[in-house]
Structures are given as C-alpha cells and as structure tokens.
A and B are shown apart, each in its own frame.
Chain A
Amino acid sequence: MSNKAFLLGDRAVYIAFIVIVLGLPLLVDDVFWLNRVARYLVFGMLGIAMALSWGYAGILNLGQGLFFGVGAYMVAMSLKLQSWTSMQQGSDTPVPDFMLWNAQPGAPTDLCCIVPGSWLWIPFQAQWFGIFMAIALPVVLALIIGATIFRLRVSGVYVAIITLALVLLTRLIFIDAQPITNGFNGLTDLGWLTVGGIEFDPLMVGTYYIVAVSVCIVLLLTRWLVSTRAGLILQSTRDDANRARYLGYDVASYQIFFFTVSAAIAGFAGLLFVIVSEFATPTYFDIAFSISMVVWAAVGGRSSLIGAAIGAILINTIEATVSESEMFQQAWRLIIGVLFVLIVLYMPRGLAGLARDLLARLVALGRGKQADSAKASRNPAE
C-alpha cells in the first residue's frame, strides 16, 4: 500500500509548516504584518481545536466561540488592570476606567465595591491568575457541558444546537453584566503581557514567537493525542458509538475528555489573541464567529489537524486581502457560504483530502514509470 508515502507526505507538511511559521520573522521585518500573521496563527489553532472535536470525535461544536471568548476575557481582565489608565484612578490598587463611569456617586474607588460584582476582579490583579483562568475556566465549563450532554447520549445535530444556544447565552450574560464587563464595548485599552520584567508589545517579534511556538506545540500535542490508543478509540466512537460500547468502552468519558481538550485549546487561543490584539469583545461570542471556525476546518479538511489549521490561515489571509476592496467585502460572506456548501457536499475531506489524492496519483504515476522501466529492462533479456 501507499501508506508509507502518505506518512512521509504528512510529515513533510508538518515540518514545512513549523519551519515556515518559526522562520517567518527572519524573512519579514514588517512588525505590523507579523502581528497580522500572529492573529491568523491563533485562528489556525482554533482550526486544530475544531478538527479535533468535529473531525476526530464527530462532535460538531457550533459554540466553540464560548471557550475562545471566555479565555480571552479572563486574560483581558488581568491586562486591563495592568493598563496605565487603571493605575490612574486615584486609588492604591488599579480600577478599570469603565467601572468609574458606571459607579454610583460616592461609591469607593476600589475593586471591592465600586460597582456590584467588581470584587470578582480582585484576584485578576495577579497576571498569572488571568492566564491560569483563561484555560481553567474553559476546561471546567467544557467538563460540565460535556458531562451533561454526553452522559445523556446527545449526539449529532442536537449537540450543534445545544452548543449554539450556549454560546448565545454566554454572549447575553457578558453584555448584560455591563458594569463589570463593559458590555458591548468589551475590554479595550489593555496593558501588555509582562513576563520576567519583559513587556510583550504586540508589535514585538518576541510576541509573534509566543504565538508561533504555542501553535506548533499545540499542533504536535494534538497530533500525538490522536495517534494514541485513546485517539483511536475516540475515532471508533465517532464511527459507531454502540460498537465501542459493546467492546467495553465508556463512550461518554472519551467524548468528554476530547471535547474538553478542544475547549482548552480554544481558551488558550483566546488568551493569545488578546495578547496580540489588545482587546476582548462580546463579538467573540457571535454565532458568525463560531460558524467561521467550522468553515475553516471544513475547507482545510476536518479530519486533518494541520489541514484545518492551514484552512483557517488561508481563509483569513484571503479575507483580509479581499476586504481592502469595498465591493468584495460585501460578496465575501456569500462566497464563503457557497464555498462551504460545495465543500461539505463534494469535498468532505477539504484541502487535506485534495493533497492526499494528488499524492496518491503521484505515487501511482511513479509506480507506473518504475514498472515501465522494469519491463523495458527485462524485455531485451527475453
């Protein structure tokens, strides 16, 4: 079989991806451009998370933005408290500017009680707490959601509907808690991530590397995860959950585990996105954003982790290029919508599938030539 060729081709794509992502700053010194690439790499990470849950687990999560958004808000709260404006509100401890605008006259300028619920912000004065929560809270939420729906054996389109409803609910909560979340406007004017005295300006090459290295690590870790026996068993539950049960596997525990890993990756992506973009807004909880992630994975190939990552990066690059022209900006959504339908119907394995088919054809071609030359060299002897 041509399995070996696929393995080699696969490995080559991974190596090329990692080399390009890590080598980019050596070729380009436009920091604005690098910052833009860093954002797309974060979306690539979301593509990986989507491929893991949709492609490998068969769980179509239409509310992945929930975990991304929660991760983003958690770290944004810490960075908000580190911003210059928060330090300048005339109190000993930092207080976000928007809380003052919302405060009742006479309320003390302190996180304890400036507005109802502002005490929730107190631990976020430690940057590490925000970073920790950016992953921990998505994990806890995913465990609760996953345990509920998978123990009840909810599957297929119902999972999509429930996750969709949950991300909308979260959006409502974040907008509604305006005094402590700044509502529609979200958290802007953030400070920079500071590690060991180094401030990570979003336009610094070092900041690009935080994202680039993170994406590579997540890619390799998820790759390892799906190659383990647990990853294989997960794929078996996707194909036939009952068969897996009658082989002795508690299907729900596999679904919960991988759903949670996917959520943790999304939360991590949210964290990174805030570091490079310096804001967190409720648009992360928009349905359109969560559905975009599904489109990225579909285009790149939902059953290929790296395919989904490349799909996300590619679509966002094209979108950014296209949106510079007013006319195309309007048409873009339509184009993406049509593309999505076509791919789901006619190319369910996306770009990754296309690449594999090409490779298979090349291998076959090579074989044919070899056979021909073998024949040619044998013939004279006969």
Chain B
Amino acid sequence: MKAALTIDALEVNFGGFKAVDGMTSVIDDGELRVILGPNGAGKTTLMDLVSGKTASTGGKVHLFGRDITNWPEHEIARAGIGRKFQIPSIFRELSVLQNLEVAVSQEPRVFRNLRLGIPTADRKRIDEVIDLTGLEPVLETVAGDLSHGQMQWLELGMLITQQSRVILLDEPTAGMTQGETSKTADIIMRLKGSHTIIVVEHDMAFVRKIAEKVTVMHMGKLLAEGPIKSIEADPAVREAYLGTGGLH
C-alpha cells in the first residue's frame, strides 16, 4: 500500500530536552491511525513538527514521497496536511458559513482572490460538509457563539472542505459530552478511506470504536505499534502507563 505520511527518525531538541526523540512511523494512504501515550509523551509536539508549527532539529517528514520537513505552515497545508488543534481554533467573528468559505478556497494568492462569490464546485463541497457535520441550523451563527461540540465539528469540517489528504486530529473529543463524542466518532468513521486520518485520543472507549492500527508513544519515542488488541496486551505499554492510571 502507498504511504501517505512517513515520519523518519524525527527529533526536536528544546534546549537539551528532546520532546520528540527519533520517532519513526509510516501511515498508509487512507488509513485511520490512533496515537496513544501518557501525558507529556510528545504526541502534540509530533503534530507540531509534522504541520510546521515547530521546526524539527533532526529527521525527515515525507508526504506522498515529497520531503516537507520544516516547510512554512501554509505550504505544508497546501501540500495536503490539515490540522485540528486541541483547543478549537476557528474564526470566531465570522459566521459558520464564512468559516467554511475561507477553508474551501484552493487559491492561496491575494490577487487571485480579488473576486466575489464562491465557484459552484466549492459551493457543492461546502454543502457536503454541512451535511456531514450537521451544521445546517447554525450556518449564519457567529462561530464564537457555537457550543463547544459545534466548534469542534466546525474545525473538523473546515479541514474536510480544505480537502486535506492527511488530517491530524489532536484530542478531538476533549471536553465533549458522550453524545457529542459519539457524533464525532461517526464523522471520523465516514471520512475513513477518503482521507488519511491521524488521531491523538485518550478516551479508550472512543479509541476502541474507531481504531484499526495504534501507535503508542512514550518519552518522545515509538513504544509499540499494531492492532488495538495486541497493544492493550503489550507489557511494555502497561509498564509505560503504570502510575498514570493505565489504559482504560
């Protein structure tokens, strides 16, 4: 199978402390990968390195064979990586529809965007995403007034309208009610296949529901990788989670 994202011996050194330390993993095209690890394992930092928020100090990131290591954020985004943050990051003073309209444009340049209206193809994609996320009733609402769950779905929806081939989700269900979590799982399941998705998640019920292959990080390194069943039985994983409450 074709590799979507190749993380190769990636490393970042924060003044002597390596938050990510020689991490290696290959994520296949269309795969849904869950990343687990105790607090401080370096999961968020790994996403920062892949998406360009933090510059790595060693190793490589390849996207569909293209070396995107340490590119500027907007170029990595244009290359096909979409990122959802732990704290919802949306345009709070714009309406929900406007948020999606910003996300949908495939034209990054200022002068090319000096035009009114949205092309039909883009409009269609926005409609599809509205369907998928169920944001129809709040389209005209200012995004800052949405509920926490709706904000998370809007941000997720923006990544889909953006047509990111690889989507990074950092704890997408954090702070959600059970109902909201289950709806989020549904959305993610529907994206499976058409997008490559990498999810960092703590909620094991949620993980068991969506996961195929799981990667466990510990102290910035790869600890274990494989199907969820074998991971849960892995003694090294149990060891890493000792004292942190373990996998549950």
Contact = CB atoms under 8 A, between A and B. Distances in A.
Nearest to A258: B110
Most buried by B among A229, A236, A249: A229
Contacts of B162: 247-248
Nearest to A2: B140
A1 B91 contact: no
Interface in A215-232: 224-225, 227-230, 232
Interface stretch (B4-12, B29-37, B100-108): B100-108
Interface stretch (B14-22, B82-90, B123-131, B229-237): B82-90
Interface residues of B, number: 35
A321 interface: no
A86 interface: no
B108 A246 contact: no
B108 A225 contact: no
B144 to A, nearest CB: 9
Interface in A119-151: none
A235 interface: yes
A245 B74 contact: yes
A236 B94 contact: yes
Per DSSP, chain A at the interface is: helix
Given A247-B102, A250-B108, A253-B110, A239 B74 contact: no
Contact of B158 (A225, A228, A229, A247): A247
Nearest to B109: A253
Nearest to B141: A1
A240 B102 contact: no
Nearest to B73: A245
Contact of B105 (A233, A240, A245): A233
Contact of A239 (B75, B93, B158): B93
B63 interface: no
A249 B108 contact: yes
Contact of A230 (B89, B92, B99, B110): B110
Interface string B149-173: 0000000001000100000000000
Interface stretch (B38-46, B112-120, B194-202): B112-120
Nearest to A235: B94
Contacts of B118: 229
Interface residues of A, number: 28
A248 B74 contact: yes
Contacts of A239: 90-94
A247 B103 contact: yes
A229 B115 contact: yes
Contacts of B192: none
B238 interface: no
B98 interface: yes
Given A1-B140, A246-B83, A248-B78, A229 B91 contact: no
B51 interface: yes
Interface string A318-331: 00000000000000
Contacts of B75: 248
A253 B114 CA distance: 13
B117 to A, nearest CB: 8
Contacts of A1: 140
B23 interface: no
Contacts of A242: 53, 73, 89
Contacts of B115: 228-229
Contacts of B90: 239-240, 243
Interface in A241-283: 242-251, 253-254, 257
Most buried by B among A233, A245, A246, A249: A246
A248 B89 contact: no
A243 B77 contact: no
Given A3-B140, A227-B116, A243 B73 contact: no
8 contacts: A236-B98, A236-B102, A240-B90, A246-B73, A246-B89, A247-B103, A248-B74, A248-B75
Given A235-B94, A236-B91, A244-B91, 7 more contacts: A229-B115, A246-B82, A246-B89, A247-B162, A248-B78, A248-B162, A249-B74
Interface of A: 1, 3, 224-225, 227-230, 232-233, 235-236, 238-240, 242-251, 253-254, 257
Interface of B: 51, 53, 72-75, 77-78, 82-83, 89-94, 98-99, 101-103, 105, 107-111, 113-116, 118, 140, 158, 162
Instruction: List 7 tightest A-B contacts by C-beta distance, closest first.
Output: A230-B113, A248-B77, A239-B91, A245-B73, A229-B113, A248-B78, A236-B102
